[in-house]
Amino acid sequence: MLRCLKKWILVPLLEPNAREAMFEKLLSSALGEKKLPYDLLVERTQGYSRSNIRLVCKEATMQPLRRTMAFLEENQELVPEEELPIVGPITREDIEMALKNTRPSTHLHAHRYEKFNADYGSQILQ
Domain boundaries, the chain: 13-120
> What's the predicted TM-score (pTM) here?
0.72
Query: Across all residues in the chain, what is the average pLDDT?
Result: 80
What is the structure's pLDDT at 100? 93
d(CA 91, CA 61): 9
What is the structure's pLDDT at 70? 86
Q: Tell me the mean pLDDT in the region 106-121.
A: 68
What is the structure's pLDDT at 108? 62
For domain 13-120, give its CATH number from 3.40.50.12280, 3.30.160.270, 1.10.8.60, 2.102.10.10.
1.10.8.60
**3-state secondary structure at position 2:** helix
What is the structure's pLDDT at 11? 74
The pLDDT-based confidence of 107 (bands split at 50, 70, 90) is: low
| Other Cβ atoms within 10 Å of 115 Cβ, number | 11
**3-state secondary structure at position 17:** helix
